[in-house]
Amino acid sequence: MTRTYAVTGGASGIGAATTARLRADGHRVVTIDRVDADVVADLSTPAGRTAAVDGVGSLCGVLHGLVASAGIAGGTGGDGALVASVNYFGAVDVVVGLRPLLAAVGDASVVVLSSNSVECQPGWPVEVAEAILTGDEAVARAAAGAVEAVQVYPASKAALRWWVRRNAPAWAADGIRLNAIAPGLVETPMAAIMRADPELGAFVDAYPSALGRPGRPEEVAAAIAWLLGDESSLVVGTTLVIDGGTDALLNPSGPSVSPRA
């Protein structure tokens, strides 16, 4: 059956790979990004998120699934507040805004992109994730802006998966499955940007991998396609770590950070 999906960050990286995979499987995909997309919108602002939701609504009479892939890294000298706005609010606000379209289908699926940095990057501030989870963007931006952007990245990604965990049961009652994936190092433009970082670049390839290589975008896209499809119909409120074994190597006794309700 041909289905209609929306993908934020669909112009590059994992979002582009997911779009290609879903289209190859015969589905219709509406992309959302700042450039080169069906819906052009800047998810760093409330107005941009509203434009994204409205744009998808104008193009889609029905929506079977949504992939919230858009995100930015926290590089040296970066803006932690911007990282929080894009990575968390740019995902959650679009997902919430499109909830009526998804609920109308009665059998929809949402996948948001977290990160294995939640488990594998030491020392990030849990209090920033908690500030983000208040849902008050001004409070979140103030907390995130007070720390290094590289530490806000895992905090924002933790907040995303905790939001999924918290809301998945109620959304499932409306026929919408919420899940997250947590990729490790994947060969995308974001990885290239981080490798070029004057302070952090040397650490990008330092994390171990059981497979001895970075991931490929299409490998993550395959996992997303599975979570969107019927074969994952019993999967609700979970986070699938897809990182070539990095988390298992660094945390052999179990994840270092547990999901919070």
Task: Return the active site residues.
Answer: 153
**To which residue do tokens 């119909």 refer?**
233
Q: Coil, helix or strand for 72?
A: coil
Amino acid identity, residue 129? A
Phi/psi at 111 (nearest 5 deg)? Answer: -125, 125
Which tokens go with 120?
A: 């594998």
Phi/psi at 28 (nearest 5 deg)? Answer: -90, 135
**To which residue do tokens 């507040």 refer?**
81
Q: Cα 73 vs. chain centroid, distance in angstroms?
A: 12
Q: Coil, helix or strand for 212?
A: coil
Dihedral in degrees, nearest 10, Cα atoms 121, 122, 123, 124: 20
